[in-house]
Amino acid sequence: MSFESIPEILEQLQLEALYKQQPLQRLLDCWQEVVGKDASVHTQPISIERDILWVATSGAAWSQNLTFERQRLLKKLNKKLLTPLVDIRFSTARWQHTKKKSSSQLIVSSREHPSYLENSLNQNQNLDRQPKSPDTAFSNWAQAIKTRHSNLPLCPNCQSPTPEGELQRWGICSICAARSF
């Protein structure tokens, strides 16, 4: 029985984990480093099929430019991957842009929304107690809705109770405003 040092065991475990990791996941880990920050925003590696990498791009111009660069990208990728790729195909076909929240986006609280009702959350004081039956739960909910909407002004179009913020913003309720768009 041979004894191995802890660093040797850890190295062996890291190698095993690397071999068990899926090829696409390994590629995703190094994609930005290989193509660059700008191109990585406009590209999404989709799959590896028969040693060909399929990449979705945000536009035809990106597809064309990256196609011209594919040999250079292949060399860089193959240095980082265990199984070498044969080719890369770029297409706009499966592009799905995921919006990344930028730090410049405004954070708006729910209180600033036109549909906000001031005391709507505190209407039903018995939230801690469980109702005895579904009928009781429904009647409690119906009573809370009636109480919440009893003091609201009515929409001039549909005569439904409408938060004041909606009337100030659109002059009508949000449902009527959405129909007009």
According to the model, what pLDDT value does residue 103 have?
A: 47
Q: How many domains does the chain have?
A: 2
According to the model, what pLDDT value does residue 113 have?
A: 65
* pLDDT of 123 strictly over 60: no
Q: How far apart are CA 109 and CA 106, in angstroms?
A: 10
In a domain, 176, yes or no: yes
According to the model, what pLDDT value does residue 99 have?
A: 46
In a domain, 126, yes or no: no
Out of 57, 91, 125, pick the residue that ends a domain: 91
- Domain carrying residue 151: 147-180
| Helix runs in 21-133, H state only | 23-35, 37-41, 60-68, 70-80
| Helix runs in 107-163, H state only | 134-149
Chain mean pLDDT for the chain: 80
According to the model, what pLDDT value does residue 160 have?
A: 86
* pLDDT of 161 strictly over 50: yes
Q: How far apart are CA 34 and CA 39, in angstroms?
A: 10
In a domain, 12, yes or no: yes
According to the model, what pLDDT value does residue 98 have?
A: 52
In a domain, 39, yes or no: yes
In this prediction, residues 125-148 reach a mean pLDDT of: 78
Q: How far apart are CA 138 and CA 141, in angstroms?
A: 5
In this prediction, residues 64-78 reach a mean pLDDT of: 93
Out of 66, 91, 116, pick the residue that ends a domain: 91
In a domain, 112, yes or no: no
Out of 48, 75, 91, pick the residue that ends a domain: 91
In a domain, 132, yes or no: no
Give the number of other CB atoms < 10 A from CB of residue 80.
Answer: 13
Task: Evaluate whether 65 touches 38 at the Cβ level (below 8 Å).
Answer: no
Tell me the residue type at 92: T
Task: Compute the half-sphere exposure of residue 167: CA atoms within 13 Å on the CB side of its CA.
Answer: 14
What radius of gyration, in Å, describes the C-alpha atoms of the chain?
29
42 against 5, higher pLDDT:
42
Confidence tier at 61 by pLDDT (50, 70, 90): very high
* pLDDT of 21 strictly over 90: no
Q: How far apart are CA 131 and CA 72, in angstroms?
A: 67
According to the model, what pLDDT value does residue 91 have?
A: 92
In a domain, 108, yes or no: no
Confidence tier at 119 by pLDDT (50, 70, 90): low
In this prediction, residues 120-144 reach a mean pLDDT of: 71
Q: Mean pLDDT: which of 1-15, 58-72, 128-142, 150-164 is highest?
A: 58-72
Confidence tier at 111 by pLDDT (50, 70, 90): low
In a domain, 123, yes or no: no
Confidence tier at 87 by pLDDT (50, 70, 90): very high
